[in-house]
Structure 1
Amino acid sequence: MAPLRQALLHPALPLRLCWCYRNDMFSHYVDASARASWAAIAATLSLAASTLGGCDRRAPDPVTTNAQSETARPSPTPAAPAISAPSPALTRSDLIAAANQAASAYAGGEELASPDPLVGRNFAVRLPFGCKGPAPNASPEQVSDGLASWAWGADQKTIRLRMMPGDWTRSATLGNAGSAEWEAVEGFWIPRPWSLAETCPSIKADPLQTDVPAASAQTLGIAAVFDAGGSRLGRRNGRAYEYVIRSAGDDPLPAPKQGFRMLLEGRVSSFPSRRAVECRAPGPDQRPVCIIAVQLDRVAYEDAEGGTLSEWRPG
């Protein structure tokens, strides 16, 4: 049995445990080296078990931890872009103020700031007319060009409104302003430029005054300009703006108490000087005549309350 025991306990063999038969009794022999090997194996298995047991415990993901610990913050709403409101349309008072400034600069030999802030602005100007009654001699044709008027028809069953634009194409005032590049210029006077109101004046002429002074000369006008080679839509070419109000029945029409109004709408243009207003005067003691260059988009007749009676548009 000794050789067998030695073979079983050989260091190259994986097991060092043997069972020997001696004297008809089983004896259990485990040498010291076998006990040491088993102790080493047990220690190794214990270490491996502890290592494998910790494999399922992964280190926490810092990104996940932060996402769970921090409260979600809503993304900021981008601010809406600021939208600038369009400039309001210029009115009668705005144009009169600009003309007064231009007249003062012309008389004083001053140069106004450039560029002109009026150029390109929209405007809407109402010109009251017929405040004292119908046209003299019952004929609107007797009224100067550039001024609106009204007249009775037969038996006062009709009222005819009429306005012939002035032909200012060859005006010396506009010629001196260097407007030779314009093919046509049609003019509209602004009566009573000292008044900012767009309605008839409340002052009435004294009926006891026999020597009624003539109306003041016109000193403020609107020039509808048409470039050479440009569109001719909207040009009157010697045709008046006319409209007839008719009675609904056989009864005569009531006399208008506050006259009528002519409405001009469009966009402020400029002279070759890049100014919207040009002024001229024959001498230092005469009030300058000032003209505002525009492009018309709409012309209309209104009653005293602002109701539209008739209108004209280019095209």
Structure 2
Amino acid sequence: MAEHNIRFRILTHLIAAGAGGVLAFVLADKEPAKTPAPDEQIVQDPAPVVEVPKIPVIPVPSPPLDRAALLAAAASAADAAASGSALPQSNAALTGRSFVLRMPFGCRGEMADPKGADAKEKPSWAGWSFNPKSRALRLTAQASDLAETEWVKQLAGEMTFDAVEGFWLRRPWTRTEQCGADDLAPTDDMLDASQRRLAIAQFYSPEGSRTLRRGNRPYSSTVKLKENETPSSNGYQLQLEGKISGFPDGQPIHCSQASPSVAPRCVIAVQFERVAFVAPGKDEPIVEWR
């Protein structure tokens, strides 16, 4: 009996101890959250930083300079030469830019046969002829040699060169690249000295590339037209492409004025990269040189 009482007491203590532990756990679980003191800061975990990938900015190249842009720059340079002021910095920013220039020729029809009775003493700088029997269209253009021109030498300054080849721009007072009314007049297509006011030319250095250097050789080619194809009634165009190279002072255009009563003469210094014959309104070249 005594042993039974002892076991009962031990079991009673164990049950009491277990109940106390469960009660303590429940009370601890229900204990209200601690309120931080007024001067105590709550430190929160920083929000994750989401990195948005940057889209690369691809620089858009400037469009090639056209006839209008070249004429505007030449007019600014001529104005500076006439007024005795410094060349505009806006022109200097054009150095290194690409350009595309189309020059019309053969607007009055076929060039005269140099051996015929109607041959002129001075042939045109460019022209075309067509043989209806063989259907052969011949196109030709001759660059001007400016290396021995005294005023060009003065404009070149300290630039070293052994050749200067380029072309005079007809009708530099208009931006159009098509044949004009004066091109259709029955007059010689050769420009006289008074009309040679603006040239675009490359100064070839002794160690530079001579890919498009022509010397006395004209740009000339003969192509065969199809049976239903006729020569252009609006003449043809010589397309010049390249980059503005500029002079040693960083300016792309230099001008010279012999007299205050005469318009300045200017030269645009460039590097030719492509020369082509094209028909007006068409992009596909008839023939090209690179």
If the length of structure 1 is used for normalisation, what is the TM-score?
0.69
The answer (yes or no) to whether the contact 1:92–1:196 under 8 Å persists in 2 is yes
Give SS of 1:174's match: helix
Check 1:100–1:204 CA distance in 2 against 1; reply closer, same or farther (3 A cut): closer
Q: CA deviation at 1:238?
A: 2.5
Q: CA deviation at 1:100?
A: 0.8
1:221 equivalent in alignment to 2:221: no
1:98 equivalent in alignment to 2:73: yes
Give SS of 2:212's match: coil
Q: State how far apart, in whole Å, the 2-side matches of 1:132 and 1:50 are.
A: 116
1:243 equivalent in alignment to 2:216: no
Q: 1:115-152: per-residue Cα shift (whole Å, max 9, x none)?
A: 711101111000000112233554699436xx322245
The answer (yes or no) to whether the contact 2:111–2:129 under 8 Å persists in 1 is yes
Superposition pairs of residues 109-128 of structure 1, within 5 angstroms: 109-114=84-89, 116-128=92-104
Superposition pairs of residues 93-242 of structure 1, within 5 angstroms: 93-114=68-89, 116-136=92-112, 138=114, 142-143=122-123, 147-152=125-130, 157-177=135-155, 178=157, 180-202=159-181, 217-242=195-220
Q: Which amino acid aligns with 1:186?
A: E
Q: CA deviation at 1:274?
A: 1.1
Q: 1:44-69: per-residue Cα shift (whole Å, max 9, x none)?
A: 55433444678999x99xxxxx99xx
Check 1:245–1:188 CA distance in 2 against 1; reply closer, same or farther (3 A cut): same
Q: State how far apart, in whole Å, the 1-side matches of 2:80 and 2:49 are.
A: 60
Q: CA deviation at 1:301?
A: 0.4
Give SS of 1:182's match: coil
Q: Bigger CA drift: 227-236 or 193-202?
A: 227-236
The answer (yes or no) to whether the contact 2:202–2:270 under 8 Å persists in 1 is yes
Structure of greater Rg: 1
Q: CA deviation at 1:227?
A: 2.6
Q: Which amino acid aligns with 2:104?
A: P
Counterpart of 2:276 in structure 1 is 300
Q: Which 5+ residue runs of structure 2 have no aligned equivalent? A: 34-43
1:265 equivalent in alignment to 2:241: yes
Check 1:204–1:268 CA distance in 2 against 1; reply closer, same or farther (3 A cut): closer
If the length of structure 2 is used for normalisation, what is the TM-score?
0.75
Q: State how far apart, in whole Å, the 2-side matches of 1:141 and 1:303 are.
A: 27
Q: Which 5+ residue runs of structure 1 have no aligned equivalent? A: 1-17, 21-27, 30-34, 61-65
Check 1:40–1:108 CA distance in 2 against 1; reply closer, same or farther (3 A cut): same
Counterpart of 2:262 in structure 1 is 286
The answer (yes or no) to whether the contact 1:187–1:221 under 8 Å persists in 2 is yes
Check 1:140–1:164 CA distance in 2 against 1; reply closer, same or farther (3 A cut): farther
Q: 1:83-125: per-residue Cα shift (whole Å, max 9, x none)?
A: 3321111111111111111101110011134371110111100
Aligned length: 268
Q: Bigger CA drift: 233-242 or 151-160?
A: 151-160
Q: CA deviation at 1:196?
A: 0.7
Q: State how far apart, in whole Å, the 2-side matches of 1:110 and 1:185 are.
A: 27
Q: State how far apart, in whole Å, the 1-side matches of 2:120 and 2:237 are.
A: 15
Superposition pairs of residues 24-103 of structure 1, within 5 angstroms: 44-51=17-24, 75=50, 77-78=52-53, 80-103=55-78
